[in-house]
Chain A
Amino acid sequence: MAEQDKPDTQAAPDAAPSAAAPKEKAKPIPPVTLDRFNILPGSPIPELSTPSARAYVAEDKRNSERKLFALICPPFLGVRTGVLEILKGANIRGAMSLVEWGVVAWPLVNQRTIAVIYERPSGGRLLDHLGQINQHEMVRKIIEPLCHGLMELSSRGVSHRQIRPSNLFFMDGSMERLVLGDCATVPAGYDQPILFETLERGAAPPAGRGAGDVSDDMYALGVSIMFALAGGNPVPHLRTDDEILYAKMIEGSYTTLVAQEPIPANMVECLRGLLSDDEHERWSLEQLDLWINGRRLTPIQKKSAPKAKRYIDYAGREHFNTRTLSLAVSRMPSQVDRLVKDNLLETWLKRDLENSDLSSAASNAIHMAQNQAGDKDLIAARISIVLDPSLPVRYKDCWFMPDGFGTTLAHSILQKGNANTPVEVISRGLPRAWFDAQDTYNPVYVALEKNFDQLLDFVQERKIGYGIERCLYETNPTLPCQSPLIIEEYVTTIKELMPALERVSAKIDKKRKPIDRHIVAFIAARLNQNIDPHVKAVGDDREEIATLGMLSLLALVQWRTKSGPVLGFTSWVGAHMGPAIKAYHSKSIREELEKEVPKLIRKGNLADLFNLLDNAEQRAQDHMDFKDACKEFEDAENEIKDIEDGSNTLQKNSSRLGEQAAAMTAIVIALLIITVTFLGKLW
């Protein structure tokens, strides 16, 4: 299998550069600079490329004699940037020296991505020298340096997860110094052929294998040693992944890999220890170190899985143990009805496997699935979890170890264009069923279970800042932001967001909104602070609140990341402040704000812009004044209506009033005349 992988994995990097060669010759591509290093896009090195990352010649501008090469990471996969940071300049014996890494604008893919510069090995891959190493030198030349390399990595909290003969290099031509190759350009275990993965992680597709730990490295080391001993693939007859898996499940890894090959007696103990399928029994680095130093340990005895008295037939295959049945149920969920019908599975588990606990657990799982939705996929998923809890969560085509869900989700979204199945996995509570089925306590699982609960909340909330995008960034801490606005900028950390948006603002149509679902989810996931009020405001149905929410969120990011003035981006954001300004009722305030906004845009500070537009005092005053104005308008309207409606009444009233006035006037005049006349007579 691994040998089959080899031509596949190597052919791809080989073929592409040769196809691109004429173009490259026609128009030489200028070198790409990363700090003091130049990477030559026109000089690929197929023999150093990995299945996912292509290698190119790199030069040190200060020391042209130095032999370097660069691996260009695929921009759509989460790079292990944490590991890169640890390994940079660490100079670990037994591991290829990581000289530098960083984000570069890679012309061949027309976008920014991560480039990792390593010391260039001159001795080639171990894969190319299989069979050339004497069995007596195996420990000194292969096992010892790799063990030390892994110990160094382990002491730094790093698991390699890419140990295979094609990723082990001799740094010298005399094949004396073997080192571990790159382990950070792709997610853990992503490039590993299934043969090099443990039974559990190997059952998952590359994207779902999970971070794993040093015990997975020990297993891969065991398989690599087996390759070295056999001078190639020890199991060439196992052609497909399923054949490898079933063979490992039925026979065990050691028997599967070693049975065909005569191996030296001194290696039996080591290989049994490294290839143990029981994670707890598998040799640790310390045990391997002791063995290297001559201390002999009791060989681990082969423990086969409990075998049933009679087989159960499923999907045309006879199954004597729950492991193969579990895998078969996941592979062929359409036939799960056969197991459920007449309690066939429960009966087989109880009578033939003599495991009543497992029988009742299976019964519970079936009932739960039937109550939940009742479809075959769900029943199959729940049954397969119960039958073998150590295997990955398996639902439809979404198979993953719980610590590999992030990569699975990213793979589903970025490669298939949707995340329907991973979302169903979460909403149907399958991760919880997997954790419930585990019979050993693992503190890592507690944290993972909590994370899945949180993901369920995110999936159920569909507003901007939540949903599947939020899950994507929460579960893939190194994945670059996938917003179409900044995807080419390869923004992996919150600190890079503002500068990227600033760069983008220079060339983008300002009518486009400066944020989208991906950017908001990215900010929410990467900013280590509770920003739910901001995110909820961004998702508000009212446009003015959403606009202010966007501004507050971006201002917070600018302040938090100390990004400094971002003139272009502030101008872009400022062009979308219409709804926030319109939220003020007063036209004079709006005009004043419209005058002020351009001044603040010139400063490039989003916080100032936000403070201007979201002056709580001014807003409250505006609201109060508006209410008063409304009342005044309404009163005036009522009064006008009264006057207009009462014109006839007024006419009538005024006529009556006029008559009354006439009578009063007449009386007054008469009294005056009488008084004057009387007084005139008296005088």
Chain B
Amino acid sequence: MAKKPVRKVPPKKGGGGLMLLGMMALFAALILMLVSMASLVLVVFGMLPTFVAVLVDRSPQRFAFISVMAMNLAGVFPYLLDLWMGSNSMSVAIDSLTDVFSLFTMYGSAAVGWVLFIVTPPIVTTVMTFIAQRRVSILRANQKKLLAEWGNAVANLEDDPMEESETKEPNAPGAPGAPGAPKTDRGKK
């Protein structure tokens, strides 16, 4: 049989998603610029690890980006809040961005995001494998019990010797069973 020519599907590029994200970021930045230029600056520089993550994480689900973004935002948010609750000036924003501790907080929290993303899957895999192995050993133990009680025939249903005998069983001698036995209907002509 002739093989059908397989049409090569061009690999789907993450460009579309990235574009959308970019658009959304741009839109948010535009609004933020209109509302508070200082906040925009703080976010842009504070969330640089997130922008890096967007570029690095090419997976469809972008779990790395989400993890990093969430943790990065958690690190930036206290300083944004300081800005919004305080004077909301550019100098405060720059102070925050130039303070080592605040930068460590913002970028450190993003790093925690990365750590979470890297560490969690092996842990989950290990746990799930352990659960599966546990299940297998329980099933094997059950099978052993069945084999001990029923013999090897239990592993092979079609070899059941009594399969046909249910209908062709020999009639028992009714009379001998009569005293105290429940076979009263057997052996009758």
A residues contacting B by CB (< 8 A) are 529-530, 533-534, 536-538, 540, 542, 544-545, 548-549, 552-553, 555-556, 558-560, 583, 585-588, 605-608, 610-611, 614, 616-617, 619-620, 623, 626-627, 629-630, 632-634, 636-637, 639-640, 643-644, 647, 650-651, 653-663, 665-667, 669-671, 673-674, 677-678, 681
Contacts and interface: CB of A to CB of B under 8 A. Distances in A.
A545 B85 contact: no
B177 A666 contact: no
A647 B136 CA distance: 12
B125 A651 contact: yes
A535 to B, nearest CB: 9
Contact of B168 (A538, A545, A627): A545
Given A585-B153, A657-B128, A662-B63, A552 B172 contact: yes
Contact of A556 (B142, B165, B168, B187): B187
B171 interface: yes
B121 interface: yes
Contacts of A629: 146, 149-150, 154
How many chain B residues sit at the interface, stated as a range, is 35 or more
B6 interface: no
B63 A607 contact: no
Interface of A is mostly: helix
Contacts of A633: 143, 146-147, 154-155
B173 interface: yes
Contacts of A640: 136, 139-140
B142 A636 contact: yes
B171 A552 contact: yes
A660 B64 CA distance: 9
Given A585-B151, A629-B149, A634 B157 contact: yes
A560 B166 CA distance: 27
Contacts of B162: 544, 583, 585, 619, 623, 626
Contacts of A587: 148-151
B99 interface: no
Contact of B71 (A585, A614, A670, A678): A670
Interface string B34-76: 0000000000000000000000000101011011101101100
A556 to B, nearest CB: 4
B122 A658 contact: yes
Contacts of B122: 658
A650 B81 contact: no
Given A552-B170, A636-B143, A667-B70, 8 more contacts: A544-B162, A611-B172, A611-B177, A616-B172, A629-B150, A669-B70, A674-B74, A674-B77
A533 B176 contact: no
Contacts of B155: 633, 637
A544 B170 CA distance: 11
A394 B147 CA distance: 64
Which 9 A/B pairs are nearest by Cβ-Cβ distance? A607-B176, A658-B121, A537-B170, A658-B124, A556-B173, A662-B120, A670-B74, A654-B125, A670-B70
B161 to A, nearest CB: 7
A677 B121 contact: no
Contacts of A662: 63, 67, 116-121
B116 A666 contact: yes
**Of B113, B120, B153, B173, most A-chain CB atoms within 10 Å:** B173
Contacts of A530: 189
A659 B181 contact: no
A654 B71 contact: no
B31 interface: no
Contacts of A636: 139-140, 142-143
Interface string B162-189: 1011101111110111000111000101
B89 interface: no
A186 B38 CA distance: 136
9 contacts: A538-B170, A540-B168, A552-B171, A627-B160, A658-B123, A659-B61, A659-B63, A666-B117, A670-B77
Nearest to B142: A636
Nearest to B189: A530
Contacts of A623: 162, 166
Contacts of A558: 176
B129 interface: yes
Contact of A610 (B117, B177, B189): B177
A630 B140 CA distance: 14
A669 B115 CA distance: 13
Contacts of A585: 150-151, 153-154, 160, 162
B132 interface: yes
Given A585-B151, A678-B81, A606 B183 contact: no
B181 to A, nearest CB: 5
A583 B161 contact: yes
B22 interface: no
A610, A661, A662, A674: most-surrounded residue (chain B CB, <10 A): A662
B78 interface: yes
Contacts of A669: 70-71, 74, 116
Contact of A665 (B78, B120, B135, B164): B120
Given A610-B172, A640-B140, A657 B124 contact: yes
B66 A674 contact: no
A663 B170 contact: no
A552 B124 contact: no
Contact of A663 (B66, B118, B142, B153): B66
Given A583-B165, A669-B74, A654 B121 contact: yes
Contacts of A656: 61, 121
B176 A632 contact: no
Residue of B71, B120, B140 most packed against chain A (CB within 10 A): B120
Nearest to A543: B161
Contacts of A538: 170
A555 B129 contact: no
A3 B78 CA distance: 145
A529 B161 CA distance: 31
B53 to A, nearest CB: 11
